[in-house]
Structure 1
Amino acid sequence: MNIDIPQLLYIFENLPNEILLEIFDYIHLNDLIRAFYNLNYRLNSILFSSNTHLYIVFPDDIIENSTHKKILLNFIRRQKYIARLRLSNDGPLLEHEFIRFPYIRSLILDIPTSEHIEMVSPKRFPRLEYLRVGYASATAQLNKLHQHIFSNGFPLLKKCSLNNIGEYQSWTGSPSIYSLGIWSNDPCLVIERVLYASMYLISFHLFLKWPSAYSILQDQIISQHTHLKYLKLHLSGLWTLEKLDSFLAYIPTVKILDLSSSYFDSHMIYFQWNFKELAYIFSCRLPNLSHFDCEIIFQNWKKIDLEEIPSFHSCFNCINYEIYADDDLFIRVFTDK
């Protein structure tokens, strides 16, 4: 028996706004303009609504498409709802008005200059939710930016990735930040300033170089952090298990810990990881720890007994190792995910 099945017409413009927004998020800006700009009022309103994360890479989107450069610049100048901006190099900001958009929620500075950093202010970016700043040596400008960040200058800021935090400043705190990535060579500053200012921080990605000036952190530097759940800690410099113990004492709520070290750090290569002692530190300092990852390089002075490691702590059940160099001098210890 033949049954006539009605043919449904799937017309692009009949799709719900939510589906169109999802589709537009995967299409490059130049292609969006060529395909959908000025077709009709509805598509224009969806393209440039305040909910659209319109992603601009400057100056790449301008320079690399000279054919559409004029229309693209005119289009950008007219849009106040651009939500994501990325400055991809350290070139001069030829179109200075281009960055003056009050609706930008995501800002990335790949190779920030002092001029770039100077422009990142609460007045210019009042709705900023995500900020990533690459390495820069502009100390004065960075200090001012860090003051804004850790004193609630950006009250909507949730995620932040910074470099070279190394100056003591009086920060009043930023309760909105829940995810943070930084590089520092000052353990006391991390505990006394960064963690204290980020009182509701949940996820922390920390590159911490331990200097020769510190032996261990003294007890009662400041109160313990009460919200941190995930710590990804990259170790460099003069770390010891005793120093790691003193650091973890300030973050007892951590549930997920990721430790790593580099082959290119001459100090950490010769660091000897005693997993029995490490397990004792975890038991004392991190009572809520439920997941542990590691990727560490060190000299193979003695073979690790993999059969014995899981018995030290329940989080050690996936640890493995491999030879890192042909001469067997170094080994890589890692979590088998």
Structure 2
Amino acid sequence: MNTLISSSIPCLESLPDELFYDIFEYLSVRDLYDGFYNLNYRFASILSSLTNVYGEMITKEEAYSPAFLFFATRITILSVEHVEPIDFSPFVALRSLRLHTEPNRSQCQSIQLLSHLEYLFVDKPRVEHFYYSISLSFFVLTNTFPSLQSCRLNLIPFKDKQQWTLVPSLHILNISIGNPRVYPQILYACPSLVTFNLEFTPHFTTPPKVFFDSSHTSLRQLKLRLNCTTFSYCQIIDLLLSLVPNLIYLSIRGSLSDANNIDIDSFAVILYHRVPKLNKFFLKMAIQESLINTQQDDNYENIQQLHPLFQYIIIDPSTQYTPARLIIQSESG
């Protein structure tokens, strides 16, 4: 193996530095350090000059490895897969942080130091971990990260009076909620939000009949995921769209509602009334078998005539593992 590496070095030496800079952008700090640092002085110098590197921290001990100690001040993207306390103070250049599990209290306190974060992503928590964790949503929505542009969080709870401040830098947000009343609170706290990916937890709490909050004028894309509920999907969607009149893209994915199928006629009226600027649309909804026969009898053309964005209609029958599904979209594919 050593002979193979030794014989490859002259070939590598003939390549220009610019090529290595391009290649090294796609390698983690561990691969960079283990693979190139000890080859010769030239490669060690190239590694020393890198200013935009990516790190993966699977265990707590990796933070003290030679690779992380060498690159720490130049790591701009970091992925963390453990829940042990982390000292983030060496990562002064960090701009993007991904946590594979919901952070515990100790990690949350450390993450507050990363005031220059632009991207923050938290994967869904494990069930056994969720009970001793604390959400990052409070820190995000109190503008602890004033440069934050894109964020994915887990559940954001509702309180009558949130201790939040405005987060003017945030443009993209991906969250789940269990109470629809937190929706206008989030919109108010994020006045520059352009893309909102919103998931409702199964059996979420009763939605109000109307929101009395001001409209959010910046939002352009809303992606909804509606899980099992006893409430009418038309009622919920009408409520949500009432605050975002400038929406141009709407995507809805939903499980079968206990309040029966979505009323396509009423839904089309809601789109006309609430989001007149809409130019792109996607709906994928679980439906009862009875709707299949109804739509086949009425013909797909009847659905297409309800709204100009109802261009492509697909009804998939149920299988042993999946319910019947209705798909309506403005574009093919």
Q: Under TM normalisation by the shorter chain, which class is it?
A: 0.7 to 0.9
Deviation at 1:234, TM superposition (A): 0.2
Deviation sequence 1:115-142 (CA, Å, 0-9, x none): 45423433x2122111112345357832
Is 1:105 the counterpart of 2:105? The answer is no
Superposition pairs for residues 165-314 of structure 1, below 5 Å? 165-168=156-159, 169-191=162-184, 193-209=185-201, 213-220=205-212, 222-236=213-227, 237-240=229-232, 241-262=234-255, 268=257, 271-303=260-292, 304=295, 305-314=299-308
The secondary structure found in structure 2 opposite 1:313 is coil
- CA contact under 8 A between 1:77 and 1:97: conserved in structure 2? no
The residue aligned with 1:14 is 16
Deviates more, 1:252-261 or 1:32-41: 32-41
Return the match for 1:132 from 118, 121, 124. 121
Deviates more, 1:39-48 or 1:297-306: 39-48
Deviation at 1:254, TM superposition (A): 1.1
CA 1:10–1:82: 2 relative to 1, 3 Å: closer
Deviates more, 1:179-188 or 1:312-321: 312-321
**Code of the aligned partner of 1:285:** R
Aligned Cα root-mean-square deviation (Å): 3.1
The secondary structure found in structure 2 opposite 1:226 is coil
Deviates more, 1:128-137 or 1:51-60: 51-60
- CA contact under 8 A between 1:127 and 1:154: conserved in structure 2? yes
CA distance in 1, matches of 2:258, 2:200: 16
CA 1:210–1:30: 2 relative to 1, 3 Å: closer
Deviation at 1:258, TM superposition (A): 0.6
- CA contact under 8 A between 2:230 and 2:259: conserved in structure 1? no
CA 1:35–1:140: 2 relative to 1, 3 Å: closer
The residue aligned with 2:137 is 146
CA 1:121–1:317: 2 relative to 1, 3 Å: same
CA distance in 1, matches of 2:156, 2:169: 19
Deviation at 1:333, TM superposition (A): 1.4
CA 1:199–1:114: 2 relative to 1, 3 Å: same
The residue aligned with 2:52 is 52
CA distance in 1, matches of 2:260, 2:90: 49
Return the match for 2:69 from 77, 98, 121. 77
CA 1:326–1:38: 2 relative to 1, 3 Å: closer
The residue aligned with 2:319 is 325
CA distance in 2, matches of 1:320, 1:161: 31
Normalising by the residue count of structure 2, what TM-score does the alignment of the two structures yield? 0.80
**Code of the aligned partner of 2:266:** E
CA 1:21–1:252: 2 relative to 1, 3 Å: farther
Deviation sequence 1:152-182 (CA, Å, 0-9, x none): 2101111100011114222111111101000
- CA contact under 8 A between 1:187 and 1:210: conserved in structure 2? no
**Code of the aligned partner of 2:224:** L
Deviation sequence 1:57-111 (CA, Å, 0-9, x none): 322995xxxxxx9xx8023123311112222244x35xx4477412111111112
Give ranges in structure 2 of 5+ residues lacking alignment.
1-10
CA 1:197–1:73: 2 relative to 1, 3 Å: same
CA distance in 1, matches of 2:192, 2:164: 15
Instruction: Report how many aligned residue pairs link the two structures.
Output: 306
Normalising by the residue count of structure 1, what TM-score does the alignment of the two structures yield? 0.79
**Code of the aligned partner of 2:97:** L
Deviation sequence 1:222-260 (CA, Å, 0-9, x none): 111111111110012234112321221001111111100
The residue aligned with 1:4 is none
Deviation at 1:148, TM superposition (A): 2.0
CA distance in 2, matches of 1:271, 1:25: 51
The residue aligned with 1:30 is 30
CA distance in 2, matches of 1:29, 1:175: 33
CA distance in 2, matches of 1:215, 1:194: 15
CA distance in 2, matches of 1:130, 1:39: 34
Deviates more, 1:277-286 or 1:307-316: 307-316
The secondary structure found in structure 2 opposite 1:187 is coil
- Taking every aligned residue pair, what percent have the same amino acid on both sides? 25
Deviates more, 1:277-286 or 1:31-40: 31-40
The residue aligned with 2:150 is 159
The secondary structure found in structure 2 opposite 1:315 is coil
The secondary structure found in structure 2 opposite 1:162 is strand
CA 1:45–1:160: 2 relative to 1, 3 Å: farther
CA distance in 2, matches of 1:229, 1:47: 41
- CA contact under 8 A between 2:230 and 2:258: conserved in structure 1? no
**Code of the aligned partner of 1:153:** T
